[in-house]
A and B are shown apart, each in its own frame.
Chain A
Amino acid sequence: MEHIVIIGNGISGVTVARHVRKLSDKKITIVSAETDYFFSRTALMYVYMGHMKFEHTQPYEDWFWKKNRIELKKGYVKNIETKSKTLHFAEGDTLQYDKLVIATGSKPNKFGWPGQDLDGVMGMYHKQDLENLERHAPNNKVCKHAVIVGGGLIGIELAEMLNSRNIPVTFLVRENSFWNGVLPEGESAMINRHIKNHHIDLRLSTNLKEIKSDENGKVKSIIIEETGEEIPCNVVGLTAGVSPNIAFIKDSEIETGRGVKVNRLLETNIKDIYAIGDCAEQHEAIGDRRPIEAVWYTGRMMGETLAHTLCGNPKEYKPGHWFNSAKFLDIEYQTYGWVFSKPRENETHFHWKHSDDTKCITINYNQTTNAFIGINTFGIRMRHETFDRWITEQRDVDYVVHNLAEANFDPEFYKTFEKEIQSAFKNQLQTA
C-alpha cells in the first residue's frame, strides 16, 4: 500500500489527508512537532482571551483520526533524504514514504533586531508561542506593559489578546497608517481610530531600534528608532509578517526560494514530493495572487486540490475568485475580488463610511468599462456566494451597488445601509 507522509498538521496538511482518505485507501501519516492533534491556529487568540479552552480549537475529536485511519506521528523532521525517500527525525528515528507532502506553514519574521531572542520576546503563531505568552503575560501585574512590533493581522490580534487582560500595549507600526499596504486609505484610517478607541497606544511610522535586556536576560525595554525613546516593557511581540518554515530542507535537493518552489500541480522539483500551504511558493504568481499565499483558505484549497493529484487524477491548483476575511478588534472585515490599497491603472474606488466610524465599504471598479473588480466590507457582513457569482458574471458597479441588499449577510433585524450607500454612490458620480 502506498504510504503518503504529510509533514505538518495544519489546515493544509489535514485537508489533504482527509481528502486522500475520501478518495483512496492509501496509508496516511501526518507528522507534527507542534501538537498531537490538529487545531485551528486562527483560534489561539481566543484561548488566551478565555473565550475557549485549547481543546475547543480542535475541530475533530481524538477518535476521528483512528476511525479514518490517519496515523499521527509527533516528531521533528531534521532532514529529508530524497534518494531513499526517508525522513530523519531529531529524535533519531526514521520514516519511509512513497509520496511526501510538505505543509510546514510559516514562522514569524525576525529582522535581526538587537535583543530579538531575549526571554519575553515572542511571535504569535505556534502553540508554543501561546504557552510562552501565558508564562510571560499571565496578568497585568507580571506584565506591566507590552510592545508589539509590526502592524499586520497577527499584530492587531496580539494587541486584542493583551487588551483582554488589561495589559497596556504600545503598538509600533512601520507604515504611516495601519495595514495600508493592503487597505485603502479610508479603511486604514478608520482602523487606526478603532485601535486608539480601545486604549491601545498606536505609534504609526515608528520602527524598533533595539530590545534591551535586564541582568537575567529578560526583556526590560525597547528603544524606538526615530525618537530614541525607551519604553519599559515585559513582553515584546514580533508580528512583522511570516515567512515559510522550511529551514530543515535547505540542505536537501528540493528547490527552494523564499518557500518550497512548486508548479501548478504543487509538485516540487523532486518526483513524489509536493508542497502546499504557507510554505509553498509558485514559480509564477497566479493572476493577481502572490507567489506565496499565507492564508488559511488557500492552504485548504491546495489541500483539496493536491488530494486528487496524489490519487492518480492530476489537478492543477486553480483557485477561484480571491476572498479573505479578518477581524480588527470589534470590526469584521471581508473582501471579495480585488481591492488594492491604491487603485491601479484604470481603476477607481467608491468609498462609503458610516457616521459611527465602525462600518465602511470600498468598491473597486474599472473607470472606463465600469466593471466590478472587488469589494472590501467592514462591519457589514456580505455573502460570499453572491459576490463570487457577480464576479463570474462580470457585473458592472451600478448593478452591484443597486443589488447590494441581495448580498447582505448581517443577522436578521439588523439596520441596513444599502439606501445610504446607493445615494452616496450617486452623489459621488455627480460630483466626480
Chain B
Amino acid sequence: MSLAKPDPQDISNTQKIALALGIVGLFILVLALANVNLPNQALFLTASLGLITIGTVIYSRDMYLAKLEGIKNDGLWFKSISSRGVWGWVSGILLTAFYIVLYFKAELLGLGQGVDGANTGLVSLFDPLSQLLAGRDASQWFVYGVLYTLAIFAFGYKFMLKYKHNRYQQLRTASVMFFQLGFAFLIPEFMYRLNSDLPYNNLANMWPLNYYNFDQYRIDGFINNGSIGMAFLIFGIVSIFVISPFLTYKYGKRWYCSWVCGCGGLAETAGDSFRQLSSKKMSAWKLERWLIHTVLVFSVVMTIALVYTYLGYDPNKYWLTKGMFLLLSGIFLTAVFAVVMIFKRQELGKDARYGAIGYFVVMALLVALHLTGTTNEVFFINNGALRSTYGVYIGSIFSGVIGTGFYPILGNRTWCRMGCPMAAILGFQQRMFSKFRITTNGGQCISCGNCSNTCEMGIDVRAYAQKGENIIRSSCVGCGICAAVCPRGVLKLENGPLEGRINPTDVLLGNDVDLIDLVNQK
C-alpha cells in the first residue's frame, strides 16, 4: 500500500492532563523502585494508585462520553501504541523487563533487602496495604496482584465506556472485575489472615491453569487444614471434571475465558488496544495448534508424574497407591479418547490423526513413568527439576513474559491462544460438545474484515461469515467483539441445539433456493 501513515489525531487538553496525572502516579512507583526514601508509605501508595486510576478515568470519560454511541476504532492502526509503532515497542520492552524482574530478580524490586529481611524499594511501598489485608509484609506477588487488579479495573472502566451501547461487553467486564478483585485478590489475602497455613488458592483458577494445584505441598496443606482445606481440594477436583465441562457445554468456553479468568480479564481490559495485532495467517493457526496441545500434553503428564512421586510416601495419608493412580489415569484418558473417536468423529474432522498422536504419546509416557519412576525421579529426571522447568518455561516465560509483556507486539491473547493448557481443554470441549457458536446471519456478510481484524485469538472470522457458516472454533473465547464491530449485523454469539451447528455451505441464503439445495446436497 502506497499510503503513508497519517498523523494520529491530536489528543485533547483534558486527555493531556489526565495522562500527566497517570504519569505522576507511575513516577511515584519509579521513585520507590529507585529506593528514594518516601516518608509516609501509605500516603504515597494511595497517591500513586489514586492518580493512576483518576488519570485513566478522566482520559476515558473525555475520550468516549462526549461521543455518540457506536464503534470507536478510529485511528486504531495509526496510533503508534496500537500498531506496533515506537510506543508499542517501548511499552512492550518495558513490560517484558518488568516481568523478567518480577519472576527472576524480585530482589531488584526490594524484596527482603532491608534489615532482617524487611522489604525496601517498591515492595516496601506496598507493605501498609498488605498489612491491612493479610497482616503481613508485601511480597513481589502482592505488588503484582495490586497492580494487576488496578489495571483490570481502570482499563475495564475504559472498556465499558467504549462499549457503552453493548450490554454483553459491559456485563462480562464487570464479571472479570469481580472475579479478579474477590477471588484472585481479596479472598486469598483474607484466607491467609484467618489461616496462614492454607496455600494461596484462587477458587476461580483451575488446573491445569494452576499447574501447581496438585503439588505435594499444596495437597498436604489442604489436607492438614481440616474441612476448609478439604473443601478447597474437592472443589478443585469437581471444577475440573464436573463444573467446567457442564458450563462449557451450556455456554462455551467463554464462561471462563471471558467472564472469570484473570489472564483473560487483563487481556480484555488492559490488552484491548492490542487485540488487532494477533496474526490471522493460516501459518499462525498451525503453530497455535501444535504449541497449545504440546503444552497441554506436557502439563497433563507432568501433573500425573508429580502426584505419582509423592503417592506412597505415607500410606496412611494417601490411600491411593502409585500403580493404582497411574492405572486410573490411563483408564480415564483412554475412556475420553474412545468416546471422542466413536461419537465425535465428525467434530474432530481431520484433526483425529493429531488427537490419536497426542493420546499415544501420553500413554507411552505413562508406561515410561511406571517403568522408570521413583519417589525422586521421573523419566530419569529429578522431579523437582521437571516441575521447576515447567514453572520457568510455561508458567513464567510463556504466560507472563511473552504472554503479557508482548501484548503490544503479538496481541493481547498470545498466552491464551498459544499456551494455556486450560484454554486447550475448554476449547476441546467447546469443539466437541458445546451448544455455543457464533451464528452467521444468512447471506448478509460483505467480507469487510472488521471481525477478523479485531479477533484477539487470531481467528479468521470472515472466512466463515462470508460462506454463511457458523463459527465453531476451539480457540474462540467468546469475547463478542467481532459481533460488536460488524457493520452489517452478521454475527451473533448464541447457545443453541447441537444438531446442525457445524454447517458448511457453498451457496448463501438469498440466492435461488434450488441452487442452494443442489450445491449443498453434494
Contacts and interface: CB of A to CB of B under 8 A. Distances in A.
B448 interface: yes
B45 to A, nearest CB: 37
A271 interface: no
Interface string A313-326: 00111111101011
Interface residues of A, number: 67
Contacts of B442: 323, 383-385, 388
Interface in B474-498: 480, 483-485, 487-489, 492-494
A6 to B, nearest CB: 17
A59 B449 contact: yes
Interface of B is mostly: loop
Interface string B236-266: 0000000000000000000000000000000
A243 B466 CA distance: 26
A134 B3 CA distance: 7
A425 interface: no
Interface stretch (B119-127, B139-147, B164-172, B219-227): B164-172
Given A304-B515, A320-B512, A325 B74 contact: no
B171 A40 contact: no
Contact of B510 (A42, A198, A323, A326): A323
A42 B442 CA distance: 18
Contacts of B507: 304
Nearest to B169: A411
A227 to B, nearest CB: 30
B417 interface: no
B150 to A, nearest CB: 27
A50 B78 CA distance: 6
Contacts of B1: 53-55
A138 B444 contact: no
A84 interface: no
Contact of A131 (B2, B69, B78, B506): B2
Contacts of A54: 1, 3
B449 A43 contact: yes
A57 B449 contact: yes
B7 A139 contact: yes
B11 to A, nearest CB: 12
Contacts of A57: 448-449
Interface string A321-337: 10101110110101000
A387 to B, nearest CB: 9
Interface in A255-308: 296-297, 300-301, 304-305, 308
B281 A61 contact: yes
A243 B70 CA distance: 32
Contacts of B69: 330, 358
B448 A40 contact: yes
A383 B9 CA distance: 37
B77 A323 contact: no
Contacts of A296: 446
A321 B442 CA distance: 12
B352 interface: no
A46 B450 contact: yes
Interface centre among A49, A59, A334 (most CB of B within 10 A): A59
A83 interface: no
Interface stretch (A203-211, A233-241, A339-347, A412-420): A412-420
A248 interface: no
Contacts of B7: 138-139
B488 A56 contact: no
Interface string A363-391: 00000000000000000011111001000
B513 A320 contact: yes
Contacts of A56: 449, 452-453
Given A59-B447, A325-B488, A330-B68, A52 B453 contact: yes
B446 A318 contact: no
Nearest to A63: B282
B463 interface: yes
B277 to A, nearest CB: 11
A334 B488 CA distance: 7
Interface in B149-205: 166-168, 171
A166 interface: yes
A327 B512 CA distance: 26
B128 interface: no
B441 interface: yes
B511 A304 contact: yes
Nearest to A384: B442
Contact of A318 (B4, B167, B448, B514): B514
Given A320-B509, A411-B168, A134 B6 contact: yes
A23 to B, nearest CB: 9
Given A53-B1, A304-B507, A329-B70, A384 B9 contact: no
Nearest to B512: A318
Given A46-B450, A53-B1, A166 B9 contact: yes
B417 to A, nearest CB: 18
Nearest to B1: A54
A58 B1 CA distance: 12
16 contacts: A46-B448, A46-B450, A49-B75, A50-B77, A56-B449, A59-B462, A61-B282, A134-B3, A296-B446, A304-B519, A305-B515, A323-B444, A327-B488, A330-B71, A411-B167, A411-B168
Interface of B: 1-4, 6-7, 9, 68-71, 73-79, 166-168, 171, 276, 281-282, 439, 441-444, 446-450, 452-453, 462-463, 466, 480, 483-485, 487-489, 492-494, 506-515, 519
Given A320-B509, A327-B487, A329-B68, 16 more contacts: A40-B447, A43-B446, A43-B449, A50-B74, A134-B6, A139-B7, A300-B508, A318-B515, A320-B512, A323-B444, A381-B441, A383-B442, A385-B509, A413-B167, A413-B171, A414-B166
